[in-house]
Structure 1
Amino acid sequence: MNDIASRSADVQPVVGDARLYTAPALEKGLDILELLSKQEHGLTRKDMAERLGRSVGEIFRMIDCLVRRAYIVQVGDTFILSTRLFELSHSFPPTKRLLNEAAPRMRALSQRSGQSCHLTVLNGTSQLVIAQIDTPEGVGFSIKLGSKLDILKSASGRVLMSFQDETEVDRLLRQLCPGMSPQQLGGHKDAFRIIRSQGFANMKSNQFSGVHAISYPIFDLNGHATAALTVPYVARLDDSQRLSVSAVQTALAATAAEMNVVLGVGGLYQI
């Protein structure tokens, strides 16, 4: 097969204005990574082949390559996802800058408030926890680093949605709730407008009893929320000196404002 023929064999029909090219080996590798990302205890080669609808022979060399490149780890006959993708995402310059500026300020916020705090970003149709600080005492409510959180049920998710372009909000809502009625759509948008007007979300948790979530946006240069800084406030029955919800909100607002200033977007954000 000549050069032109071989290239055309890899070209799919035109869709709209875009010509789609196939990369079978790459797609097999991505399928394996996506499959393992949902498995807590890993899978064997046979398990992966069955779930992907392929033979073991089709994926054998790809698995070997992913092990050599440290994207997956072999434990006996089982393969699990490594932290390589997580490390790569955190070395991406904008994310790295955000984390570098956030880490010391989040530690100071936790010390001052006596509460845990976490930083989330939009990740498809969920949000991802990219930074997290436990309570100073080590006892309290906290969220595991790398966790995926619901967008619409949480204060942080609502903050992230409230400070996006309307077209992006519409797109995400259609993906999150395909059968949503116009009334439901309007209800969510009204809630986002309220958060946008007050600049933060402050609400009792819809998922955990006794948790009061407070969340503020961290902006990018376009005025969109690139992250949400959140304190899941929990009262202690044995500590009357602990800061109140309103005092923690004030501390959180100051921390978010400082982060926006050091990231160069302070003019977009006013407490």
Structure 2
Amino acid sequence: MSEKDYTVPALQKGLKILEMFGSDCHRLTQSEMADAFGVSATSLYRIIQTLSSMGYLNKVGKNTYELGSQVVSRGFSYLASREVVEICAPYITRLRDRTSLSSHLAIREGTDVIYVFRALALQRLSVNVPVGTRFPCHTTAIGRALLIGMSPTELEELYKGQRLDGYPEPAPQTLPDLIELCAQERAQGWSIHFSDYSTAIAVPIRNYSGEVIAAINVSGSDPMMKREGVQERSIRALQDTANDIMKQLGSEG
């Protein structure tokens, strides 16, 4: 007697559709998806509509789709940011080795920062944020580094109707506070945040058009970060690493 098959074909197809996207394939038509399965386009219609309604696919043209925001926010960050991760990973690991501090890569989704890569520090006392972790951007250095590229008007639009209080200081408690802090950090080129007996410093990563597409940080315990010269050396190492990454992305840094 053969073993029963409890798989769900429609779910399998939906997941395989998401797997079709990657660093070398950002958009697909409904026909292209159907060709990959060897079926008609109409047979995938309901699956594609379901993925779209749930935010896993985003329609960008006539029967053309790209990955939606839910792919990132639900832990599939590597699909949407695979190229950035692949480029950044060796540089972030080198940054960890250079500073002996934990180093992370993050992207922004709405008002949240999502960690997509980390290089763990080797010290017993270290700060390590797991891949897939989300925080409000305004409460972390790496999150605010992602906001550095936005104008005050863009920040006002992004945070329209949202409260910023309820998070411990030194996180900004109001939108004017956030706009002022972002202006200061934009001018100096880096962000810093203190929390839970630890300190993190972060810088943005820009693409060839100058758009902030990611951010990197180093973080460590306060006893280590408060040693003489550590913060200054960390900032230089972050800026050097960011420039090397941006050259790979076609940016002048």
Query: Is the shorter-chain TM-score for this pair beyond 0.5, marking a shared fold?
Result: yes
Residue from 131, 139, 144 that aligns with 1:158: 144
Residue from 90, 94, 108 that aligns with 2:78: 90
- Superposed, 1:31-46 pairs within 5 Å as none
1:199 aligns with 2:173: no
TM-score, normalisation: structure 2: 0.62
SS of the residue aligned with 1:174?
coil
Distance 1:242 1:146 in 2: 33
- How far residue 162 of structure 1 moved from its aligned partner, in angstroms, is 1.9
Unaligned 5+ runs, structure 1: 1-22, 35-81
How many aligned positions are there? Answer: 187
CA contact (8 A) 2:113 2:143 kept: yes
Q: 1:147 to 1:203 in 2, by over 3 A?
A: closer
CA contact (8 A) 2:148 2:204 kept: no
Q: 1:243 to 1:105 in 2, by over 3 A?
A: farther
Identity %: 20
- How far residue 233 of structure 1 moved from its aligned partner, in angstroms, is 2.4
Q: 1:261 to 1:233 in 2, by over 3 A?
A: same
CA contact (8 A) 1:213 1:231 kept: yes
SS of the residue aligned with 2:139?
coil
What's the C-alpha RMSD, in Å, of the aligned pairs?
3.5
Distance 1:236 1:190 in 2: 29
- 1:183-222 CA-to-partner distances (Å, cap 9, x unmatched) read 93322211111111111112323xx2x2111000001233
- Superposed, 1:118-133 pairs within 5 Å as 118-133=104-119
Residue from 191, 215, 240 that aligns with 1:228: 215
The AA in structure 2 aligned to 1:157 is: G
- How far residue 116 of structure 1 moved from its aligned partner, in angstroms, is 0.5
TM-score, normalisation: structure 1: 0.58
1:244 aligns with 2:249: no
Distance 1:242 1:201 in 2: 19
Q: 1:218 to 1:32 in 2, by over 3 A?
A: closer
1:190 matched residue in structure 2: 180
Q: Which has the larger radius of gyration?
A: 1
The AA in structure 2 aligned to 1:100 is: E
The AA in structure 2 aligned to 1:200 is: W
- How far residue 121 of structure 1 moved from its aligned partner, in angstroms, is 0.8
- 1:202-249 CA-to-partner distances (Å, cap 9, x unmatched) read 2323xx2x2111000001233221111011122557xx9997222222
